[in-house]
Amino acid sequence: MFYREAGQFKTTYADDQALLPIAQDRVGLIIVLAIAFLVLPIVASDFFLSSIMIPFLVFALAAIGLNILMGYAGQLSLGTGAFMGVGAYSCYKLTTIFPDLNILIVLLLSGFFSAGVGVVFGLPSLRIKGLYLAITTLAAQFFLEWCFIRVGWLYNYNDSGAIEVPQRELFGLAVTGPHATPETRYLIILTIVAVMTLVAANVLRGRIGRSWMMIRDMDIAAELMGVRPLYAKLSAFAFSSYYCGVAGALMVFMWLGSAEVEAFDINHSFLVLFMVIIGGMGSLTGCFMGAAFIWVLPVILRAIPPAFELDILAATMEHISSIIIGALIIFFLIVEPHGLARLWRVGKEKLRTWPFPYAT
C-alpha cells in the first residue's frame, strides 16, 4: 500500500538510472544505514556486535566478491576461502613489515595481492567453463592452503603457525588487536563494507559490469559485440578476488584476532558459496541476505534454548539448528530457486500492485 511509485515521475535519464529509482527504497536504505551506524553501536551488546554483526559483514563482503564472479560474470569458483586467506596473510605481512602504515590502507592494499593471485588462477577460465572451471579453482584452494602451512615467511616463522594480529591504532584509538573495542571494529568494518558495496553496485551498472554479464549470458554474442573475453573474465576474477581478499583481511584483523590455515579451508569456500546461492546469484542485496541466513540464523537458533531456560545440551542444539537450517535451505530453494533476493523482489512487485494484482 505504501510501497508504490505512483506519482514519482522521472524527467531525466540520470534519475531513471539511479541505483534506487523508487523513493521508498531510498528511505528504507537510509533507515537501515542509520540503524546500523548510529543505533546499533550504542544499543547492541558486545556479543551481538562481535559474534553476529562483524562476521555477518565479513561474510557479506566475501559473498559480494564471489557473487561478482559467479552471479555476474558466470565463472564458478571454489577458491573463495583461499583468496580470503591471501588477503589475510598479505595484510599480516604488510602490517608487520610497515608497522607505521595506516591500517586502513594496509587492509585495502592487501586486496590487490588477492586480486593478482585471482587473475593467475583465473587463467584456465579462458578455456574451461562451468563445473570444470570450478574444479580448476580447487587447485587454487589446495595450493594456497599448502602455501599457508609450508611457507613460514608468510606467518613470520611463528611457532604456532598462526598469524597473530598486532595492535594498530587509528587516531589514537586501537582498531585491531585485543584492546580494540567491538564498537570500533564494527564501525570500521561497516564503513568499509558500505563503501565497497556502493563501489560494486556502480561498477556492475556500468560498461564493465555489463561486459561481465554479456560474457555470462552469451559469450559468443559478447565477443561479436566487441567484448574481449580475456579482459572481461580476468577483470572479473581480479575484482572478485579483491573483494574476497579484503573480506579475508577484515575477518582476521577485525573479527578473529588470529587465524591458522583452517580458517581458510574448503569448508569456508563452501560456506560463502552457499550464501551466494541462497541469497541469490546476481544480486548484491542477496549477498547480505545469504550471509544473514547462513551465519546469523544459526547463532539466533542456538541462543533460543538458553533464553527460554530450556535444558538442551549445546551439542544437541547444534544438531537441531543444522537440521532446521538444512530444511529451510531446501524450502527456500523450492519456493524460489533464484534465491532470497528474487523472493524479496517478487514480494515488492506484488506490493506495488496490491490489492489489484492484474493492474500493471
Write down the least CB distance from residue 210 to other proteins, Å.
5
| C-alpha cell read off for 308 | 527460554
DSSP-H helix ranges across the chain: 13-16, 23-34, 40-43, 46-47, 54-67, 80-97, 103-122, 130-150, 182-205, 207-217, 219-224, 229-250, 266-279, 284-291, 297-307, 314-335, 340-353
Write down the least CB distance from residue 288 to other proteins, Å.
20
**Of 142 and 231, CB closest to other proteins:** 231
Per the listing, cell 511509485 goes with 5
**Of 9 and 157, CB closest to other proteins:** 9
Write down the least CB distance from residue 85 to other proteins, Å.
25
**Of 210 and 302, CB closest to other proteins:** 210
**Burial annotation 180-216 (CB, 10 A radius, 16+ → b, else e):** bebebbbbbbbebbeebbeebbebbeeeebbbbbbbb
Write down the least CB distance from residue 240 to other proteins, Å.
14
Question: Which spans of this chain sit near other proteins (rule: CB under 8 A)?
Answer: 12-14, 16-17, 199, 202-203, 205-211, 213-214, 216-218, 220-228, 235, 282
Write down the least CB distance from residue 199 to other proteins, Å.
5
Contact partners, residue 126, CB within 8 Å, separation at least 6: 229, 230, 233, 234
**Of 93 and 216, CB closest to other proteins:** 216
Contact partners, residue 54, CB within 8 Å, separation at least 6: 182, 185, 186, 189, 254, 255
Write down the least CB distance from residue 274 to other proteins, Å.
21
